[in-house]
Amino acid sequence: MENWHKGPAFRVAASVLSRLKSLGQGPSKNNDLIVEAVETVNLGKVLGIDFLGNEEEAVQRIVELEVEDASKVAQAADGVRL
């Protein structure tokens, strides 16, 4: 997804990154999550999904779900004893 930083996708990503920074998430991981979420939304568009102008909310929710999943995996790993 070359040049994704140009245009609406960048504005969505910047908004989501700003929200994640307020949650104390690390910037490098956030960038990866945001890029992946934006790509997911763009794939949805290619497949015919109409986000009705709510792309920002879709990206934010995808990132939130990824953060929740990572937290659950980390908690599960802490509970596993080798």
Rounded mean pLDDT, 31-60: 91
Domain ranges for the chain: 8-79
Specify the range with the lowest mean pLDDT, choosing from 20-24, 27-31, 78-82: 20-24
Distance, in Å, from the CA atom of 38 to the CA atom of 10, rounded to the nearest integer, reads 9
* % of the chain with per-residue pLDDT over 70: 60
- The confidence band for 20, taking pLDDT boundaries of 50, 70 and 90, is low
Distance, in Å, from the CA atom of 33 to the CA atom of 59, rounded to the nearest integer, reads 9
User: What pLDDT is stored for residue 55 in this prediction?
Assistant: 92
Which residues have C-beta within 8 Å of that of residue 21, sequence separation ≥ 6?
27, 30
Is the pTM for the entire model greater than 0.85? no
